[in-house]
Amino acid sequence: MINHKNIILIGFMGCGKSTVGYELAKKLNFNFIDADAAIEAIAGENIHQIFSERGESAFRKLETDYLKQLCEQNIAGNILATGGGMALSEENQKYMKQLGVVVWLDAKFDLIWQRVKSAKHRPLVTNTEEAKVNLQTLYKSRVDVYAQACDLKVEIDRLTLDEIILGIIESIRYAKES
């Protein structure tokens, strides 16, 4: 049985979790939570600073602590857009499933690269061939994790924002009726 009190969006950077999450929240009259922004507010530093000053493991611990806190608060009526690596931890996957239905926004790497290659705020991305190869390796290493972590998968490559939102709503509705 899928838990529907919240919708948690997972997927690789650039797949549109924040954009889709914000619009989905408006459509469903839910609250929108950007996990990365919430963690930055709690830490008093941006993600780039956390990674460079404290390391990735410290950031991953902040993610886990944040998910645990949301579970303890027993929140409902939220769309949670996660960071691209939040689903990597089995503990985080457990917390996400406890919070609600986990939806993977799946995009092909070419679409991801087109969206992120010029982004200045993404520490792993520079518009170089080396960065592209490194990012593609990271992408490939995460696909199976996202597949394991999700309750539902929406392939977004050829869809408009409205179609993605409708796909999520209809998939959840269908799963709930099953």
CATH 3.40.50.2300 fits 6-177, yes or no: no
Return d(Cα 9, Cα 90) in angstroms, integer: 16
Domain ranges of the chain: 6-177
User: Within a 10 A sphere around the Cβ of 111, how many other Cβ atoms?
Assistant: 16
Tens of pLDDT, residues 3-51: 579 999 999 988 999 999 999 999 999 999 999 999 999 999 988 888 8
- Which of 151, 147, 143, 142 lies closest to 171, judged by CA? 151
What is the pTM for the complete model shown? 0.92
Q: Is the pLDDT of residue 178 over 70?
A: no
Tokens 């991801």 correspond to 112
> pLDDT tens digit string along 116-173?
766 655 555 555 677 788 889 999 999 999 999 999 999 999 999 999 999 999 988 8
| CA-based nearest residue to 14, from 100, 106, 86 | 106
